[in-house]
Structure 1
Amino acid sequence: MDIIKNPHDSLFKRTLGDKEVAVDFLENYLPNSILKEIDLTDIKVAKDSFIDKELEESFSDILYNVSIDGKEGFVYLLFEHKSYFDKMTPVQMLGYILDIWKLYNKQNKNEKLPPIIPILIYHGDRKWKYGSSLSELIEATSEAISDYIPGYNYLLYDFSNYSDAEIKGQIKLRLFLKLISHIFDDDFDKGLREVLPLLIELREKTTGLEYIETVVKYILNIGEEISLNELDQKAKTISAEGSAVIMTIAEKIYHDGKEEGKVENMHEMIEFAMELKFGLSSKKIVQEINKIDDYERLKNIKDAIKSYDSLEELVKNIDI
């Protein structure tokens, strides 16, 4: 399994970088008082990211260009995916808001700066405790002094504290939110039980396979140091169909479809499928299979793996 440099960022961008999912999120979670002021019919996803390079492992962001009260405006989504609290997050967000205004001012000749609605999605293993205003981080002082201290409010969504019943939206959004709400659980079984039915449902959609691949990679890179075999076994105890989805995507992940290196790719796919189905006990057989350089023979072995429930049965029925 390839190690994804930043699996949180990959999942976040793949999900909320989709305009349809972005609208779904905003319509379901923005307060009605704000939603009625925004026109989402022509939402645009900006390509710019405002995250400092050294903080890319801790934050992801997306900037949406929308119409607010009939004028140009922005919704700025900051996704914090540290597993620990950082009280400076609102300060960092303020810096990103200022950077957006600076960039806008450089690119436009408008006298006024556009409004920016800041949203923080917190993704930690404990409840967020720093409120939803920058002022909550600053020592209380007299009104005469506080008038000169910068401050702003932001919308906060701490999905680590949401019940499954509170998670709303279409399939991709619910899948994303259920994943981030459960991924740091000590026991991911409950999260997998919530996620698998959505993966099965999404598989039926023509555009769903790529996104399922992202989800499976995310689980394997983040979830409780889970192996491919363990993930498949967990899936089997919940749903045979869910396990089949995992296997289908696993094969896709491990096969790039190129003509070059077909034998090497097939070796890799067989090793992966053997470990996934039979565990580490298959290693000696895999070593023998890796000596085979006949592509068609290897293909027959790969296909045979699906047909047998035990390693002994497989070995009896394949030509090694």
Structure 2
Amino acid sequence: MLVGRQPNSGPVPAIGQFAAARRRFRFDAGVERTDARSRCAVGAAVTTHRRWTRDSFVRLLVSSGGCRIRPELDEPGTSLSGVGCQVCVTGAVVSAKRRIRFVICRCRRVISRAVTTPPSNPHDAYFRQVLARPENAESELRAALPATITARIDWATMALQPGTFVSEELRSRYSDLLYRARFAGRDAYIYLLIEHQSSNDRFMALRMLEYVVQIWNQHRREVQERRRHERRGKTRSSAADSEQLPPVIPLVVHSGEPRSWAAPTDLAELIDLDPGAADDLRRYLPRFQFLLDDVAALDIEALRARELTPETRVMLILHKIAPGNTNLGHDMLILVDDLRILESDLHPSTDLKVHFHYLLIVGDTPETDLDQVIEQLGPRAKEAIVTTAERLVAEGEMRGQRKVLLRLLQTKFGQLPSDVVSAVRSADPGQLLMWEPRILTASTLDEVFA
């Protein structure tokens, strides 16, 4: 928990003094700046980059009544807690990795509430965990990109870049990863976008162009920041900080079943242009095309024949055969050889629970039906499947407890405010045990959550 304070000494300034003091306001984590966010409230910017950017993480509001919520800092990528009001039910802070939104309570009663975000998509989490390993991403890129491009990539320089360019609303459909590497002796980016759905986005070429522009803008901000540090004498000059933009290699991996890709890969196909005017106008229109790996169009044998790392091959095949499969134990037998390799000492960093968690979540097969696969593997795999299954059972029990508590609250108090529903859905076991008996004696919601 981080608590705001002045860098020298003294209390945090009152709301009326906050704007004047904002250039001097600091947090223990090294925050450099705060920002006034509304006429009636102030938000303190908390950033892991030591500067205010769109990637900053925010968790502080001061209500119009002067009540201050203590600031906290989450790790990048986690959802933030916020404030909600049981009276007007308007308060919330919702923050994704690259977006900050403030909704300020209009009354003077502000209470701490956890703001839940949509549950993470199992496909998104699975792809990101596997392809975040450079060796796995390299094997997929070597299989998907033209040989003339792969021959110029210095694979030893591949480095995963933080963050995502896909909005929270689209996470159920897309996953993305950004790598940086040397290409033909110069810096370049490789952007992978994984499409999970069977229906194609007709305007994917436009979407990919938007992401490429975002990557370039992020690159420019990083270069400008390095130059500011250079002027202050904090770093040496870098030859990489040129006045030109690095190339971005855009690749869409379409894994949605059962249809193959049908949407345009060239932006020009999306522009309604009269053929007679094409020659006059074409040079002034953006030209862009992305690379496509249509995994959905490949059968299992074609995937098995690819030169992939065992973990990447298991991931791509499981994504094809696991969702909704009631006979998964039998169908997974083709993966036994790869799973044995992953279980061996040659892959000590591989977490088999990642793969078992995915297949237990998206498959429609009980744990016991996987015995015919597990029996052909060693003790490490058996421990992983048991641990994963036990954790999923525990999570299911927690979801059941939350549903019961919400039902009891609704029975006694009627329609529940959205912030109360959010608080219950994100509650830990200790909070559930504390709130449940209070329902018997409480006459208001405030008494339950006091």
TM-score (ref. length: structure 1)? 0.70
Shift of the 208–221 alpha-carbon distance from structure 1 to 2, 3 Å rule, reads farther
Verify the 8 A CA contact 1:59 1:78 in the aligned structure 2. yes
Shift of the 91–186 alpha-carbon distance from structure 1 to 2, 3 Å rule, reads farther
Are positions 1:122 and 2:262 aligned together?
no
Are positions 1:228 and 2:369 aligned together?
no
Q: Which shows bigger deviation, 130-139 or 87-96?
A: 130-139
Partner of 1:278: none
2:256 partner amino acid: G
Partner of 1:284: none
**Higher helix fraction (1 or 2):** 1
Are positions 1:159 and 2:274 aligned together?
no
Partner of 1:180: 319
Are positions 1:211 and 2:343 aligned together?
no
Alignment root-mean-square deviation, CA? 3.1
* Sequence identity (%): 24
Please give the alpha-carbon distance, in whole angstroms, between the structure 1 residues aligned to 2:204 and 2:324: 23
Verify the 8 A CA contact 2:158 2:181 in the aligned structure 1. yes
Partner of 2:239: none
Question: What is the CA deviation profile of residues 68-100 of structure 1, one whole-angstrom value per residue up to 9, with x for unaligned ones?
Answer: 121111110111112322212222211111100
Are positions 1:137 and 2:270 aligned together?
yes
Are positions 1:198 and 2:198 aligned together?
no
Shift of the 197–104 alpha-carbon distance from structure 1 to 2, 3 Å rule, reads same
Which of these two proteins has the greater Rg computed from alpha carbons?
A: 2
1:221 partner amino acid: I
Partner of 2:47: none
TM-score (ref. length: structure 2)? 0.51
Q: Which runs of 5+ in 1 are unaligned?
A: 257-264, 272-320
1:252 partner amino acid: T
Please give the alpha-carbon distance, in whole angstroms, between the structure 2 residues aligned to 1:268 and 1:116: 43
Shift of the 207–35 alpha-carbon distance from structure 1 to 2, 3 Å rule, reads closer
Measured after TM superposition, the shift of residue 188 of structure 1 is 5.6
Please give the alpha-carbon distance, in whole angstroms, between the structure 2 residues aligned to 1:143 and 1:44: 41
Verify the 8 A CA contact 1:73 1:114 in the aligned structure 2. yes
Partner of 1:308: none
Q: Which shows bigger deviation, 44-53 or 23-32?
A: 23-32
Are positions 1:61 and 2:197 aligned together?
no
Q: What SS does the aligned partner of 1:241 have?
A: coil
Partner of 2:122: 7
Matched residue count? 254
Q: Which runs of 5+ in 2 are unaligned?
A: 1-117, 225-241, 398-450
2:262 partner amino acid: K
Please give the alpha-carbon distance, in whole angstroms, between the structure 1 residues aligned to 2:318 and 2:192: 18
Please give the alpha-carbon distance, in whole angstroms, between the structure 2 residues aligned to 1:15 and 1:74: 19
Please give the alpha-carbon distance, in whole angstroms, between the structure 2 residues aligned to 1:205 and 1:128: 38
Measured after TM superposition, the shift of residue 55 of structure 1 is 1.2
Verify the 8 A CA contact 1:124 1:184 in the aligned structure 2. no
Measured after TM superposition, the shift of residue 52 of structure 1 is 1.5
Measured after TM superposition, the shift of residue 150 of structure 1 is 2.0
Shift of the 184–254 alpha-carbon distance from structure 1 to 2, 3 Å rule, reads closer
1:89 is aligned, of 197, 204, 220, to 204
Shift of the 139–186 alpha-carbon distance from structure 1 to 2, 3 Å rule, reads farther
1:35 is aligned, of 139, 150, 153, to 150
Partner of 2:387: 252
